[in-house]
Amino acid sequence: MIVTWSEPQFVAAHAVMRRIGAHGYEAYIVGGAVRDKLLGRDVKDIDIATSAPPDRVEHLFEKTLPTGIAHGTVSVLFASYWFEVTTFRAEGPYDDARHPRFVRFDTTLAGDLARRDFTVNAMAVDANGNLYDPYGGLVDLREQRLRAVGDPMLRFQEDGLRVARALRFAATLGFTIDPATQAAMLESTTRLAKVAPERRQDEWNKFLVALTVARCDEVADEVIEAWTGWHDLRWSCACAQTVNVNGLHDRLAVLLLPFADRAGEALRALRYSRKDADEVMALLRLAGAWQAGLPPALPLAVGKQLAAYGDGFLARAVDVCWAHHPQRDRQADWQLAHAWLESAPLRTERDLAINGSDLVRAFSLQGPAVGALLTYLFEQVAKRALDNQREELLACARAWIESAPLDAALLRSFLAVAPQHVPITVYPSVPSTNDLVRTRLAEEHASFLAVLTDRQESGRGRQGRLWVSPPGKGLALSVALRLDASDSERLAEWPLFAALAVRTALAEVGVADVAIKWPNDIYLHGKKICGILTELRTASGEARLVIGVGVNVNADAEDFPDDIKARATSLKVAAGRSVSPNRLAARLIDELYGSMQRYLVGMRFRERREEYETHCMTIGQSVRVRQGEALVTGLALGIDDEGTLWVQNEASETLSVRSGEIIES
């Protein structure tokens, strides 16, 4: 039989074949193009089979791509059409249902057609229009029948994907499957399950998109399970719902909706691309929201999806639900969803009157805190608690930052001295930050570490006294430093450096009039506001210094137990307003880190003695100092260059008192 095909794509294909022929090789249009053309269907791409080896094909044409060179396929561009030109091949035995063990180039068309899957796919046409049809493909086309080439059982065992391809062709072409082929297919489902997921996905997509209501339930559940690997899918019910919508992503969403919580896993198992999976998951989330009754304020996640996929996406999500309940009034549902969307004051944080850079500039925020704040502002505007106006948004942002609970990202945005890479960890609650940071320093390589919590369970003061802190309203910060142990004189000055660091930090958050009680307690108007515990352990030339700072931040007077009320106060009580724990923590870390840097370049207490004395409440006061077992009472005369306190006792003797809390071990 001779066929004449005159569409430009076929004219170009004939020219390609003639050029190959002029060099002494055979060339034929094969496979789907022949089948679809004979059926009068649109032909997408034309595959050409040739006796020419791939390297010859590459030399015969100006523009080629080595698409599948190992399997003999070269893409050829000719007259603005791409053709896949594949050298005749006969595949070696299949040993894993995935890939033939080897591909052997064959010299004959007959050999090439014999390895093809179905008779309607195993026809070829040469440059003169001669049709080669060794397996009766034409008759099968006419009778709308899908039949395996050769022994069906053998062919499906060779390549399990052919089971899926048979179903896909039956669905797209509207063909029935020949009984012998059908029987062999059912026996080969386990073979299909072993095919590489990428290949199964490719056929699944084509099948799903082509599915029509008439034929969809002809496929057995087991076959679909082997094809997709989705154990939760009940194809016999799902198929009729699936055809209520169109398009790959929408149909996938309809199928996955009943087990939406495992949809991500299912999509990954079939190796869907990130992009495809994102779109399906977005549809599922939106469909889930619609099913649950849309929330009064547009959630940012939904707004972002609509911005990414367009407003029509909401109607698609509504349809995904409707596909499961086609008795519902679809138009009315659309209108409801549309009205909901229209009533939203904004869609995404991009619609806010300020953006991330504004926040960075206004509050020197960085990192994830910027996103978190934008989300918060979006939500406030979305629920109409706030007008979308610059000044209002900035004021709201300021309030949010100041009132935000302790958070590592927010804290980091306030750092000005300590570098961002310094390990800082916020814990929800910790028995003792000093113990924790010491353990971590022993395990990690860092030379400076900070751990914090606003819920310390058993903080200690000096002499093991309990540090009382109402949960969530205090700050317990411990830093650990790894230092050289050789200069014990200088190490002994650290409690005083710590006191200076804390005093400066408190002044920077607005509580300037605190005083240091030698060596390192911090008082405000005679009440304790902050405790510092410095612990030093030295071993094999290394000093591990741990400085723990406990601050009463936002406790109200009534939060303190009665016995402590008279002796303790908080930053909030002192400043008359809440203090941001993040800002405070960042200042503390900055000051302690800065102290470490200065220590490393040789700082001595004597250089800061004046500063210390200025803020020290002890000098000129009557004091009782514990020194070992003895209790020394007298008048604090002053502090010397080493940080030693000089006390005159009642016998007018002058005693020197070294800072008491250094615990040597």
Q: Interface mask (CB under 5 A) for Mg ion, residues 27-66, using x and -?
A: -----x----------------------------------
**Residue 172 or 375 having the CB closest to Mg ion:** 172
Q: Is 148 an interacting residue with respect to ligand ATP (CB under 6 A)?
A: no
**Residue 137 or 459 having the CB closest to Mg ion:** 137
Q: Is 258 an interacting residue with respect to Mg ion (CB under 5 A)?
A: no
DSSP 408: H
Q: Is 68 an interacting residue with respect to ligand ATP (CB under 6 A)?
A: no
Structural contact between residues 112 and 126, judged by C-beta atoms closer than 8 angstroms: no
d(CA 194, CA 159): 9
**Site size toward Mg ion, by CB under 5 A:** 1
DSSP 69: G
CA distances from 435 to 87, 303, 630 (A): 72, 46, 28
587 binds, among ligand ATP, Mg ion, none (CB under 5 to 8 A by kind): none
Residue 297 DSSP SS3 = coil
Task: Give the shortest CB-158-to-ligand ATP separation in angstroms.
Answer: 8
Compute the Cα dihedral for 114, 226, 191, 105 and give only its sign: positive
162 binds, among ligand ATP, Mg ion, none (CB under 5 to 8 A by kind): ligand ATP
Q: According to DSSP H, which parts of 174-220 are helical?
A: 179-186, 189-193, 197-210
d(CA 383, CA 608): 53
**Residue 54 or 495 having the CB closest to ligand ATP:** 54
d(CA 458, CA 468): 9
d(CA 211, CA 171): 6
Q: How far apart are the first and last CA of the chain?
A: 101
- From 157-165, 233-241, 274-282, 646-654, give the range in contact with ligand ATP by CB under 6 A: 157-165
**Residue 145 or 490 having the CB closest to ligand ATP:** 145
Within 8 A by CB and 6+ apart from 382, the residues are 297, 298, 299, 300, 303, 344, 345, 346
CA 575 to chain centre: 41
**Residue 117 or 521 having the CB closest to ligand ATP:** 117
- C-alpha closest to that of 481 among 429, 428, 538, 522: 538
d(CA 219, CA 156): 17
Structural contact between residues 387 and 351, judged by C-beta atoms closer than 8 angstroms: no
573 binds, among ligand ATP, Mg ion, none (CB under 5 to 8 A by kind): none
Q: Is 116 an interacting residue with respect to ligand ATP (CB under 6 A)?
A: yes
Task: Give the shortest CB-91-to-ligand ATP separation in angstroms.
Answer: 8
d(CA 440, CA 437): 5
Structural contact between residues 619 and 638, judged by C-beta atoms closer than 8 angstroms: yes
CA 138 to chain centre: 53
Q: Which residue is nearest to Mg ion (CB)?
A: 32
Q: Is 166 an interacting residue with respect to ligand ATP (CB under 6 A)?
A: no
Task: Give the shortest CB-45-to-ligand ATP separation in angstroms.
Answer: 7
Q: Is 161 an interacting residue with respect to ligand ATP (CB under 6 A)?
A: yes
**Residue 116 or 438 having the CB closest to ligand ATP:** 116
Task: Give the shortest CB-203-to-Mg ion separation in angstroms.
Answer: 12
- C-alpha closest to that of 353 among 378, 328, 326: 378
The single residue among 3, 32, 39, 307 that binds ligand ATP, judged by CB under 6 A, is 32
CA triple 41-238-190, angle to 5 deg: 80
Structural contact between residues 662 and 495, judged by C-beta atoms closer than 8 angstroms: yes
**Residue 32 or 356 having the CB closest to Mg ion:** 32
- From 18-26, 115-123, 405-413, 617-625, give the range in contact with ligand ATP by CB under 6 A: 115-123
Task: Give the shortest CB-166-to-Mg ion separation in angstroms.
Answer: 16
Task: Give the shortest CB-167-to-Mg ion separation in angstroms.
Answer: 17
Buried b / exposed e along 117-139 (16+ C-beta atoms within 10 A): bbbbbbbbbbbeeebbbebbbbe
Task: Give the shortest CB-166-to-ligand ATP separation in angstroms.
Answer: 10
Task: Give the shortest CB-140-to-ligand ATP separation in angstroms.
Answer: 13
Task: Give the shortest CB-243-to-ligand ATP separation in angstroms.
Answer: 20
**Residue 146 or 546 having the CB closest to ligand ATP:** 146
Q: Is 159 an interacting residue with respect to ligand ATP (CB under 6 A)?
A: yes
**Residue 33 or 418 having the CB closest to Mg ion:** 33
Other Cβ atoms within 10 Å of 197 Cβ, number: 15
161 binds, among ligand ATP, Mg ion, none (CB under 5 to 8 A by kind): ligand ATP
Q: Which residue is nearest to ligand ATP (CB)?
A: 32
Q: Is 68 an interacting residue with respect to Mg ion (CB under 5 A)?
A: no
**Residue 118 or 363 having the CB closest to ligand ATP:** 118
| Contacts of ligand ATP in 197-226 (CB under 6 A) | 206
Residue 546 DSSP SS3 = strand
**Residue 199 or 490 having the CB closest to ligand ATP:** 199
- From 114-122, 316-324, 369-377, 608-616, give the range in contact with ligand ATP by CB under 6 A: 114-122
**Residue 32 or 594 having the CB closest to Mg ion:** 32
- Burial of 44 (C-beta count, 10 Å sphere; 0-12/13-18/19+): exposed
Task: Give the shortest CB-65-to-Mg ion separation in angstroms.
Answer: 17
- From 158-166, 188-196, 443-451, 503-511, give the range in contact with ligand ATP by CB under 6 A: 158-166
Residue found by looking up tokens 């997509």 in the block = 205
Task: Give the shortest CB-47-to-Mg ion separation in angstroms.
Answer: 6
Q: Is 140 an interacting residue with respect to ligand ATP (CB under 6 A)?
A: no
**Residue 47 or 358 having the CB closest to ligand ATP:** 47
264 binds, among Mg ion, ligand ATP, none (CB under 5 to 8 A by kind): none
* Phi-psi group of 417: left, alpha or beta (phi > 0 → left; psi -120 to 50 → alpha; rest → beta): alpha
The single residue among 162, 249, 482, 544 that binds ligand ATP, judged by CB under 6 A, is 162
Residue found by looking up tokens 């030295």 in the block = 538
- C-alpha closest to that of 451 among 469, 476, 487, 470: 476
d(CA 122, CA 112): 9
What tokens were used for 339? 């009205």
The single residue among 47, 106, 133, 493 that binds ligand ATP, judged by CB under 6 A, is 47
Q: According to DSSP H, which parts of 23-151 are helical?
A: 32-38, 54-60, 109-114, 137-142
Q: Is 72 an interacting residue with respect to ligand ATP (CB under 6 A)?
A: no
Structural contact between residues 59 and 50, judged by C-beta atoms closer than 8 angstroms: no
Q: Is 117 an interacting residue with respect to ligand ATP (CB under 6 A)?
A: yes
**Residue 101 or 567 having the CB closest to ligand ATP:** 101
What tokens were used for 210? 């082509």
Query: Which residues bind to ligand ATP, rule: CB under 6 A?
Result: 31-32, 47, 116-117, 121-122, 159, 161-162, 165, 206
Residues forming contacts to Mg ion in the complex (CB under 5 A) are: 32
